């Protein structure tokens, strides 16, 4: 049984302000929950419609009905389980390796996909502008497919943070140099911009190297790539060139 | 004013079977609609809450209320316009250049993003298995951002189609050769597999060259890339190597 108060608490966690107040967030689905359980994150409570997750003690685990799961789920078609976790302490970013900097990424699916890409390419640090969608938004947690536990993410005044960094700063622009031809280093900041507006002016001024993904289609028409697919191509090029 | 019958017709177009029966589909948002209007597609009717799209004759254009738009829209937060188009005649794929073959891609956002990528990279032909999500699904149309007008897409028995082709067949597998190291031709079929199950057995048997996107992260953990981001990286590599 899940109490009315628990339903109320979890429903509130769909909103960022209540996630912050309670320092809690939730994840859904066996795969993602198992990855979070295997990480350093602390479980607050697990709700499941099955008799699974037996390694979780009964004091932390409640079997619930499909109807109750539907009440607390953020998914149109809920999975069989939902788990509430405590937010970890805020992390810090070190000035080394490749750091991905996100300038107001608004779509939760894009942020989640970018974190999954960073995980794949062994990039451990992501810095987000304060206008970037919240890491603990349920759709972001879902789209990361567990990568959220392996990539450090901080939110900060991105312009100031980049200004204080000594790493070279790469940004993608239509008029940049082909990323296929550019010499890419093993250390640097890669800025990816907002879905509609690209990289903001203040941050553009701090970019030391303008790169571009060459376009082969109809030059009059095809306007842009989705930011997650653009990130995929740029990270692939950085890794291809620096891992030999 | 939009009549009850029109609302009923457009609402039915949310479902594939009624799109097929009526040979109609719809798109939403100024940008996508404008791209479709600029293409060879034939407009059936345009509904807009603004006094825009003045180049469309009044017999083909109806100004409607926000409330009525909400009734016919497939979006949670509707745009200001929705346009119904006639489906074009079925197209045929030629055995030349790069052809992307999709083996049961189920997510509409993934299919739309892949078509946008093909458009960017100048790849004009896409062959889909019959189990792939419908091209005219409203979410696919939306995610293509207009690329739907510039990329030829056909649905067919993919295994048979590949079997009859003389082009070399590339497929991504965990145990494939690094796509960075592989010699890639200017002509060939690139197979991308289902989100959960990858490339199906019958089609795998027809793959002549197994390629892989090298992984740099924690090898125990990171399981896979999203199919759209994997497509981004593979297409980028093909184009980078064959365009010099």
Cβ burial of B141 (10 Å; 0-12, 13-18, 19+) is buried
What's the gap in Å between the CA of B228 and the closest CA on chain A?
A: 7
What's the gap in Å between the CA of B3 and the closest CA on chain A?
A: 30
Contacts of A122 in chain B (CB under 8 A): 215-218
Residue B220 pLDDT: 63
Residue A220 has pLDDT above 80, yes or no: no
Mean pLDDT, range B163-190, rounded to an integer = 95
Length reported for chain B: 244
Following DSSP, what letter does each residue of A96-126 receive, concatenated? -SEEEEESS---HHHHHHHHHHHHHTT--EE
Residue intervals in chain B for CATH 3.40.1280.10: 98-242
Residue B210 pLDDT: 97
Residue intervals in chain A for CATH 3.30.1330.30: 4-86
The closest CB to that of A233, out of B118, B223, B233, belongs to B233
Contacts of B147 in chain A (CB under 8 A): 222
Following DSSP, what letter does each residue of chain B receive, concatenated? ---HHHHHHHHHTTSHHHHHHHTEEEEESHHHHHHHHHSSPPEEEEEESSS--TTS-GGGEEE--HHHHHHH-SSSS--SEEEEEEPPPPP---S-SEEEEEES---HHHHHHHHHHHHHTT--EEEEETTSPPTTSHHHHHHHTTGGGTSEEEEE-HHHHHHH--S-EEEEEEEEEETTTS---SSEEEEEEBTTTBS-HHHHTT-SEEEE----S-TTT-----HHHHHHHHHHHHHHHH--
What's the gap in Å between the CA of B106 and the closest CA on chain A?
A: 16
The rounded distance, in Å, linking the Cα atoms of A42 and A228 is 29
Nearest CA in chain A to B109: A109
pLDDT in tens, A70-87: 999 999 889 999 999 999
Q: What percent of chain B has pLDDT over 90?
A: 87
Cross-chain Cβ contact A214/B119 below 8 Å: no
- Please provide the CATH number assigned to the domain covering A98-242: 3.40.1280.10
Partners of residue A153 on adjacent β-strands = A126
pLDDT band of residue A233 (cuts 50, 70, 90) is: very high
pLDDT in tens, A177-216: 999 999 999 999 999 999 999 999 999 999 999 999 999 8
Q: For B4-86, give the CATH class.
A: alpha beta
Mean pLDDT, range A90-115, rounded to an integer = 95
Contacts of B215 in chain A (CB under 8 A): 120-122
Q: What percent of chain A has pLDDT over 70?
A: 97
Nearest CA in chain B to A112: B226
The rounded distance, in Å, linking the Cα atoms of B24 and B85 is 6
pLDDT in tens, B41-96: 999 999 999 989 999 999 999 999 999 999 999 998 899 999 999 999 888 999 99
- Tell me the ipTM for this assembly: 0.90
């Amino acid at each position: 049984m899940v109490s009315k108060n628990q339903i109320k608490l979890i429903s509130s966690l769909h909103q960022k302000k209540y996630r912050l107040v309670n320092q809690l967030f939730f994840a859904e689905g066996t795969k993602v929950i198992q990855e979070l359980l295997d990480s350093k994150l602390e479980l607050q409570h697990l709700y499941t419609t099955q008799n699974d997750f037996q390694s979780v003690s009964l004091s932390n685990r409640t079997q619930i009905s499909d109807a109750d799961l539907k009440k607390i789920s953020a998914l149109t078609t809920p999975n069989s389980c939902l788990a509430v976790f405590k937010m970890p302490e805020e992390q810090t970013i070190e000035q080394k390796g490749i750091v991905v900097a996100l300038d107001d990424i608004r779509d939760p699916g894009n942020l989640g996909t970018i974190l999954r890409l960073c995980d794949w390419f062994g990039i451990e640090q992501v810095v987000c502008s304060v206008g970037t969608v919240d890491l603990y938004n349920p759709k972001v947690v879902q789209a990361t497919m567990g990568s959220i536990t392996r990539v450090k993410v901080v939110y900060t005044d991105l312009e100031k943070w980049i200004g204080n960094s000594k790493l070279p700063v790469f940004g993608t622009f239509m008029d940049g140099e082909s990323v296929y031809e550019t010499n890419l280093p093993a250390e640097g900041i890669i800025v990816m911009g907002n879905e509609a507006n690209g990289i903001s002016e203040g941050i553009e001024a701090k970019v030391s190297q303008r790169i571009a993904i060459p376009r082969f289609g109809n030059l009059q028409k095809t306007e842009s790539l989705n930011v997650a697919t653009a990130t995929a191509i740029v990270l692939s090029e950085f890794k291809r060139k620096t891992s030999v």
